[in-house]
Amino acid sequence: MKTVVVKLLGYLLTPVYLLVFGLLLAVFHPVQMICRSTGGYGAHKKSVDILNLLIVKSLCILGASISFRGVETLPKDRPVILISNHQSMLDISPIAWGFRHHHPKFIAKVELGKGIPSVSYNLRHGGSALIHRNKPLQSVREIGKLGRYIEQNHYAVCIFPEGTRTRDGKMKPFLPAGVDALLKAAPSAAVFPLAIDGTYELTKRGLYPMSFGARIRIAVLAPIEPGTLTAEEVVKKAENLIRAALEKPVKEV
């Protein structure tokens, strides 16, 4: 009976959530434009922070809960590279909000840089990198530019080395190219694996119906000091730590 009720709530509440989500993106698109034109980066970032907070809070419509662990372990006096698994498009807002004090940037395919209210604008103007997947030289150049940006400002970047979000809930092998470009451009960066669990449950049947009552857990794992390690070794170590964390989910704090 409980399963039936949970499924029914998913069918009934998904349209409400999607409506709220769409309205937030539509409303905050001009808000971002105004903030950036009048107050520069700082005002723009504050508008994006508020947008991501509201997106995270709106998941309550679907009965979802979100917890963060280990965010306080990130240093503020050096750049940070977060190497993360990628379960859903809904990974982004929790990361953007939970790590807001570290100014997280993202690496996204260039197609996302247009046509999506709020999202595309922020990707183009918020410091993230837009890459062509079929143009490796352009990708390396843009990632290198982002690496130099976080090195200069002690910001964070979140990279998903799987290359795309999971379609079946299973982690794909991590690829080292993007991390290699970041490490070369930001040599003082600290590397932290980031384990995301639960966002796949929300969208495992697509956007309709979304699941009700998902428990989303985002955990910063033990740091990896690149030192003399190759990018391949750093990525493999991060992948192993994330796989181990997902097999034995971290406890909520």
Query: Per the structure block, which two tokens stand in for 248?
Result: 């034995």
pLDDT of residue 154: 98
Q: Mind listing the domains of the chain with CATH numbers?
A: 2-247 (3.40.1130)
pLDDT of residue 1: 60
pLDDT string in tens for the chain (253-residue length): 678 999 999 999 999 999 999 999 999 999 999 999 999 999 999 999 999 999 999 999 999 999 999 999 999 999 999 999 999 999 999 999 999 999 999 999 999 999 999 999 999 999 999 999 889 999 999 999 999 999 999 999 999 999 888 888 889 999 999 999 999 999 999 999 999 999 999 999 999 999 999 999 999 999 999 998 999 999 999 999 999 999 875 554 4
pLDDT of residue 165: 86
pLDDT of residue 174: 97
pLDDT of residue 220: 98
pLDDT of residue 168: 83
DSSP notation for the chain: -HHHHHHHHHHHHHHHHHHHHHHHHHHHHHHHHHHHHHHHHHHHHHHHHHHHHHHHHHGGGGT-EEEEESGGGS-SSS-EEEEE----GGGHHHHHHHTGGG--EEEEEGGGGSSSTTHHHHHHHSS-EEE-TT-HHHHHHHHHHHHHHHHHHT-EEEE-TTSS--SSSPPPPP--HHHHHHHHH-TT-EEEEEEEESHHHHHBTBSSSPPSS-EEEEEE---B--TT--HHHHHHHHHHHHHHHHHSPPPP-
